[in-house]
């Protein structure tokens, strides 16, 4: 082979190889565990990115961080910091990257084929033959379109998972916020009851000393007082546990949350029409699981399209060039992979069965969403009724206590009767407080059923912030 021919063939092969190569280089992304811990411990309400995020969602930048934290501000903190949001966003990025891969053309392949001849001829340029062969797959457009369509549905489903993670994070913050509110109210009530019981123990003790009552009555009062002390101790432990759980749901260190002054002003009246038809439409419009199942059905339908398109044979073009001892040889090969008819029919039936399953799962999820919102609405109406009854009972008991106080002022009732009436009022207040707690839980269940905020903090859940490169600076530096 002459040097000129060798250079031309090798140059052609090098040009094809270089044209097929990507120019992207490896970019390291190390993870530093110590830096991750340091980043978590450095989190606070003063982070600049959090301030910008809060300002973009209706909070005045000059008033951030707030002096008192309500459910609205706590939700923004959780949406900014919680790891579940970032994890869902990373999964969505993976799905979008897979969508980009699915839309690409199938890659070419080539090979360089040198041959050495042991027998040389006098009129040749040498004992070498050098060949270059390419394989160019011609994939049907329907196959590529089906793959891209399926990946697009799955990418959209991954985007929905971000919203679902945001709702789950918000629900946890709401539950722990309400639990802290309930614990705070319960501690205030227990402290008031302890004071009243302490007065009663003193009154009974004096009457026992005077021989007006037996020691049994005094023992019963002391037991009641001890039970209230035990309840208060348990409520303090519950409050500390709820505070730790709130910190975890916010993605903040516990000491940061302990310094935050919470304001409990959740509205007990849902900001939504309680008509059954309105609630059903609201649930079907907002429920992320319903939308995700619909996207999963779309992906399953795209799989059917892909299986049907697989019936068509794959064609491969193989252009080639060979320099054979002075002779230029050009060739064109056409390859065809013939699919097995029985296998393709089985694949189509399998894909159709999966599509049918996806359709049934969508219908079941939709039905479950309707049933869930109906049960939640019924639970809310029952809780409202019980709270109204407890409020009426409390009002009657307060009127009774007021009558006893008037009798005490006129000398028609003694001090023990007055303290007893006050203890009965406190008991009615405890029942009313329990009814309010039940109502808050009913509203929370109704929120989860329609996946829309109802406690007056947001009309709709804010969009989560995107993951920025700067967010990873403390995790690991490339």
Residue recorded with tokens 């309680």: 274
In a domain, 164, yes or no: yes
Q: Indicate the pLDDT class of residue 474, thresholds 50, 70 and 90.
A: very low
Q: Which of 478, 476, 475, 468 is closest to 39 using CA atoms?
A: 475
User: Does 65 sit behind a cis peptide bond, omega within 30 degrees of 0 on the bond before it?
Assistant: yes
pLDDT at 104: 64
Exposure string over 217-250, b if 16+ CB within 10 A, otherwise e: ebeebeeebeebeebbeebeebbeebbebbbebb
DSSP 386-404: HHHHHHHHHHHHHHHHHHH
Structural domain containing residue 316: 3-21+32-42+82-454
In a domain, 95, yes or no: yes
Higher per-residue confidence, 473 vs 420: 420
How big is the chain, counted in residues?
Answer: 478
pLDDT in tens, 204-252: 998 888 888 888 888 999 999 999 999 999 999 999 999 999 999 999 9
Q: What is the mean pLDDT of residues 130-155?
A: 81
Exposure string over 293-315, b if 16+ CB within 10 A, otherwise e: bbbbbbbbbbbbbbbbbbeeebe
In the chain, the percentage of residues whose pLDDT exceeds 70 is: 87
Q: Which of 98-107, 211-220, 237-246, 394-403 has the lowest mean pLDDT?
A: 98-107
pLDDT at 416 over 80: yes
Structure tokens that stand for 116 in this block: 């050495």
Identify whether the C-beta of residue 169 lies closer than 8 Å to the C-beta of residue 249: yes
User: Does 204 sit behind a cis peptide bond, omega within 30 degrees of 0 on the bond before it?
Assistant: no
In a domain, 463, yes or no: no
Work out the number of other CB atoms within 10 angstroms of the CB of residue 54: 24
Bridge partners (DSSP) of residue 322 are 131, 329
Of the spans 16-20, 92-96, 235-239, 314-318, which averages the highest pLDDT? 235-239
Distance between CA 278 and CA 454 in Å, rounded?
A: 14
Bridge partners (DSSP) of residue 124 are none
pLDDT in tens, 38-80: 989 999 988 888 999 999 888 888 889 999 999 999 999 999 9
pLDDT at 471 over 50: no
Identify whether the C-beta of residue 283 lies closer than 8 Å to the C-beta of residue 167: no
Q: Indicate the pLDDT class of residue 32, thresholds 50, 70 and 90.
A: confident
Distance between CA 73 and CA 51 in Å, rounded?
A: 11
φ/ψ of residue 115, rounded to 5: -135, 145
In the chain, the percentage of residues whose pLDDT exceeds 90 is: 43
In a domain, 62, yes or no: no
Residue recorded with tokens 């918000």: 170
Q: Which of 72, 8, 23 is closest to 453 using CA atoms?
A: 72
Computed from CA positions of residues 45, 48, 53, 57, in that sequence, does the dihedral angle turn out positive or negative?
Answer: positive
Q: Indicate the pLDDT class of residue 129, thresholds 50, 70 and 90.
A: confident
In a domain, 71, yes or no: no
CA distances from 402 to 413, 417, 419, 431 (A): 12, 12, 12, 19
Residue recorded with tokens 């909070």: 59
Computed from CA positions of residues 441, 442, 448, 453, in that sequence, does the dihedral angle turn out positive or negative?
Answer: negative
* This model's pTM is above 0.95: no
Identify whether the C-beta of residue 91 lies closer than 8 Å to the C-beta of residue 158: yes
Q: Which of 2-6, 262-266, 371-375 has the lowest mean pLDDT?
A: 2-6
Distance between CA 239 and CA 155 in Å, rounded?
A: 41
467: enclosing H helix or E strand: none
pLDDT in tens, 147-205: 888 888 888 898 899 999 999 999 999 999 999 999 999 999 999 999 999 999 999 99
pLDDT in tens, 290-341: 999 999 999 999 999 988 888 888 788 888 878 776 677 888 888 777 777 8
What is the total count of domains within the chain?
Answer: 1
For residue 272, what is the domain's CATH number? 1.20.1600.10
Of the spans 14-28, 108-122, 256-270, 386-400, which averages the highest pLDDT? 386-400
In a domain, 473, yes or no: no
Mean pLDDT of the chain, nearest integer: 84
In a domain, 109, yes or no: yes
In a domain, 364, yes or no: yes
Side by side, the strands of the sheet bearing 128-138 are: 109-116, 128-138, 314-324, 327-337
Distance between CA 63 and CA 252 in Å, rounded?
A: 20
């Amino acid at each position: 082979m002459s040097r000129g021919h060798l250079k031309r063939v090798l140059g052609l092969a090098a040009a094809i190889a270089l044209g097929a190569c990507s120019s992207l280089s490896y970019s390291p992304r190390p993870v530093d565990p110590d830096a991750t811990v340091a980043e978590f411990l450095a989190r606070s309400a003063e982070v600049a990115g959090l301030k910008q995020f809060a300002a973009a969602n209706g909070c005045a930048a000059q008033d951030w961080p707030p002096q008192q934290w309500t459910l609205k501000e706590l939700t923004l903190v959780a949406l900014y910091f919680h790891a579940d949001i970032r994890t869902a966003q990373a999964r969505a990025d993976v799905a979008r990257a897979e969508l980009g891969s699915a839309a690409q053309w199938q890659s070419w392949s080539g090979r360089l084929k040198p041959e050495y001849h042991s027998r040389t001829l006098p009129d040749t340029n040498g004992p070498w033959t050098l060949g270059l062969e390419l394989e160019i797959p011609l994939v049907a457009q329907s196959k590529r379109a089906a793959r891209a369509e399926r990946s697009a549905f799955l990418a959209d489903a991954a985007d929905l998972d971000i919203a679902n993670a945001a709702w789950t994070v918000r629900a946890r913050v709401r539950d722990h916020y309400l639990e802290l509110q309930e614990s705070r109210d319960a501690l205030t009530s227990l402290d008031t009851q302890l004071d009243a019981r302490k007065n009663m123990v003193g009154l009974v003790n004096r009457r026992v000393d005077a021989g007006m009552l037996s020691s049994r009555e005094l023992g019963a009062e002391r037991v009641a007082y001890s039970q209230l002390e035990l309840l208060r101790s348990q409520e303090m432990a519950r409050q500390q546990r709820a505070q730790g759980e709130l910190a975890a749901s916010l993605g903040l260190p516990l000491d940061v949350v302990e310094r935050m002054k919470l304001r409990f002003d959740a509205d007990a009246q849902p900001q939504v029409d309680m008509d059954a038809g309105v609630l059903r439409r609201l649930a079907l419009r907002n429920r992320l699981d319903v939308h995700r199942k619909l996207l999963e059905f779309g992906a399953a339908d795209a799989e059917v399209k892909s299986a049907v398109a697989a019936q068509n044979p794959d064609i491969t073009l193989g252009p080639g060039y060979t320099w054979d001892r002075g002779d230029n040889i050009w060739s064109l090969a056409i390859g065809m992979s013939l699919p097995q008819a029985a296998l393709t029919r089985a694949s189509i039936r399998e894909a159709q069965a999966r599509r049918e399953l996806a359709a049934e799962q969508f219908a079941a999820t939709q039905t479950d969403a309707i049933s869930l919102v109906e049960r939640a609405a019924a639970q809310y109406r029952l809780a409202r009724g019980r709270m109204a009854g407890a409020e009426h009972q409390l009002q009657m008991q307060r009127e009774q206590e007021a009558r006893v106080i008037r009798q005490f002022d006129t000398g028609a009732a003694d001090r023990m009767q007055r303290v007893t009436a006050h203890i009965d009022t406190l008991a009615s207040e405890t029942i009313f407080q329990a009814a309010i707690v039940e109502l808050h839980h009913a509203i929370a269940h109704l929120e989860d059923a329609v996946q829309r905020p109802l406690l007056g903090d947001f009309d709709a859940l804010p969009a989560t912030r995107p993951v920025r490169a700067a967010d990873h600076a403390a995790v690991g530096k490339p």
